[in-house]
Amino acid sequence: MAAITYELIKKDKQTGARLGIVHTPHGSFETPTFMPVGTQATVKTMAPEDLKAMEAGIILSNTYHLWLRPGHDIIREAGGLHKFMNWDRAILTDSGGFQVFSLSDMRKIEEEGVHFRNHLNGDKLFLSPEKSMEIQNALGSDIMMAFDECPPYPASFEYMKASVERTSRWAERCLEAHTNTEKQGLFGIIQGGEYEELRRQSAKDLISLDFPGYAVGGLSVGEPKDVMNRVLDFTAPLMPENKPRYLMGVGSPDSLIDGSIRGIDMFDCVLPTRIARNGTFFTSKGRLVIKGAAFARDFGPIDEKCDCYTCKNYSRAYLRHLFKADETFGLRLASYHNLHFLMNLMKDVRQAIREDRLLDFKEEFFEEYGYNKPNAKNF
Ligand SMILES: [Zn+2]
């Protein structure tokens, strides 16, 4: 039995969006879903019980950060990442590649792997497909990601072609190095930037290797939204129907809906917790920045429509006060609300698929959120 399997329940008649279930050794979750990000083996300020209360079935953690600190040997000794962080539902780990390519400026890419400097202390390090598998096997995540090259945006066709071919060779090496196939599923990552021909080549190479799931990589790296949607339009249909499809690094409400419409099942992003730490809240009427003077005497909730712990118990005035006074409870309440908002949005998306009305739902949501306003951006 494969560690990871996908069950398609139905497709939305308006858009073709997929309602499904992903089964893992640590339970099953419905898709499309959003995965909260726990970079350092913790979703910042959230206890596992909080994430369960908002029905998170899977969270993401970062291989690069856990490798550097505390070290994967310590996590293996602790009994694996689930036990170490007290999370008994599913975990996905990335390959470490994205952080090597984004955090480190002293890097050198070779066929064997990538040389770079530790962003914490400057030490020389080397990450390869084999090393990434060794670390992820030690962490014991349910879903592991293949080690790929993350090319910059924009990149020329020639650069991208060489990169896609190397990513395919690295994917093969990842499969060979993966030692725990019974309990951990390894996903391949389709690259190719905005070039249809290269996405096609990458998908073909990786599908021939028969991974239990596939991701679309290299998006949400600074390209305009219409480029992301266009790339998904021609990439998602290349992906197997009977396996989960994961769009990496995407978490703005519009992109979660647009991605679901294009047949994506899983998403992750640090956005909800990152903006929370600046006192920015998602609401059904768009983003709200709590520090403004207008909220000093506003005793209503952040979002009238939200039934989360924060909105049920605390006012805008109180939250503004916490942020003005730099109190850590504010960070926790904001993170809670923002994660709940996205988990709830995905629940609404799944319900709309059930009722064959995802396009209508998108129209209603975009209208209320403000995406349809002229010059709407940065949501
Ligand atoms: Zn709320």
CATH code, domain carrying 123: 3.20.20.105
The catalytic position among 94, 142, 205, 265 is 94
pLDDT score of 375 more than 70: no
With pLDDT > 70 as the criterion, what percentage of the chain qualifies? 98
Output the CA 344–ligand 1 centroid distance in Å: 10
The residue that leads in pLDDT, 335 or 372, is 335
Which parts are annotated binding residues for substrate? 94-98, 148, 191, 218
Q: Is residue 63, in this structure, part of any structural domain at all? A: yes
Output the CA 260–ligand 1 centroid distance in Å: 23
Q: Is residue 344, in this structure, part of any structural domain at all? A: yes
Residues 312 and 263 in one domain: no
Residues 289 and 247 in one domain: no
> Could you tell me the pTM of the whole model?
0.97
The domain tally of the chain equals 2
Residues 150 and 250 in one domain: yes
Q: What's the pLDDT tens digit per position in 25-71?
A: 999 999 999 999 999 999 999 999 999 999 999 999 999 999 999 99
pLDDT score of 379 more than 80: no
Q: What's the pLDDT tens digit per position in 174-212?
A: 999 999 999 999 999 999 999 999 999 999 999 999 999
Comparing CA positions, the residue from 107, 82, 104 lying closest to residue 92 is: 82
How is residue 106 annotated by DSSP?
S
Residue matched to tokens 């209320």: 368
Q: What is the DSSP string of 60-82?
A: EE-HHHHHHTT-HHHHHHTT-HH
Position 47 scores a pLDDT of: 98
Do 304 and 312 contact (CB within 8 A), yes or no? no
Position 104 scores a pLDDT of: 66
Do 343 and 29 contact (CB within 8 A), yes or no? no
pLDDT score of 213 more than 60: yes
Q: Is residue 22, in this structure, part of any structural domain at all? A: yes
Query: Is 307 part of the annotated catalytic residue set?
Result: no
Q: Are strands 185-190 and 143-145 parallel, antiparallel or unpaired?
A: parallel
Q: Is residue 289, in this structure, part of any structural domain at all? A: yes
Q: Residues 6 or more apart from 259 whose CB is under 8 A from it?
A: 32, 232, 247, 250, 267
Domain that holds residue 325: 277-369
Banded pLDDT at 120 (limits 50, 70, 90): confident
Residues 212 and 231 in one domain: yes
Residues 44 and 69 in one domain: yes
Residues 229 and 324 in one domain: no
Output the CA 46–ligand 1 centroid distance in Å: 14
Distance CA 320, CA 329 (A): 11
Q: Is residue 123, in this structure, part of any structural domain at all? A: yes
Residues 176 and 36 in one domain: yes
**Pair of tokens at residue 104:** 């480190």
Output the CA 203–ligand 1 centroid distance in Å: 39
pLDDT score of 378 more than 70: no
Q: Is residue 376, in this structure, part of any structural domain at all? A: no
Boundary residue ending a domain (210, 240, 268):
268
Residues 197 and 73 in one domain: yes
Output the CA 93–ligand 1 centroid distance in Å: 28
Output the CA 349–ligand 1 centroid distance in Å: 18
Which parts are annotated binding residues? 94-98, 148, 191, 218, 306, 308, 311, 337
Boundary residue ending a domain (221, 240, 268):
268
Residues 242 and 335 in one domain: no
Compute CA 373 distance to the chain's CA centroid, rounded to the nearest angstrom: 27
Banded pLDDT at 319 (limits 50, 70, 90): very high
Distance CA 147, CA 345 (A): 31
Give the type of residue at 219: L
Output the CA 206–ligand 1 centroid distance in Å: 41
Query: Is 94 part of the annotated catalytic residue set?
Result: yes
Which parts are annotated binding residues for Zn(2+)? 306, 308, 311, 337
Position 259 scores a pLDDT of: 98
Q: Is residue 138, in this structure, part of any structural domain at all? A: yes
Position 281 scores a pLDDT of: 98
Q: Is residue 378, in this structure, part of any structural domain at all? A: no
Position 239 scores a pLDDT of: 98
Residues 328 and 188 in one domain: no
Cis peptide before 70 (omega within 30 of 0): yes
Banded pLDDT at 377 (limits 50, 70, 90): low
The catalytic position among 12, 205, 265, 268 is 268
Output the CA 60–ligand 1 centroid distance in Å: 22
Residues 290 and 225 in one domain: no
Give the type of residue at 331: L
Q: What count of other Cβ atoms lies within 10 Å of the Cβ of residue 367?
A: 11
Boundary residue ending a domain (268, 289, 315):
268
Residues 187 and 241 in one domain: yes
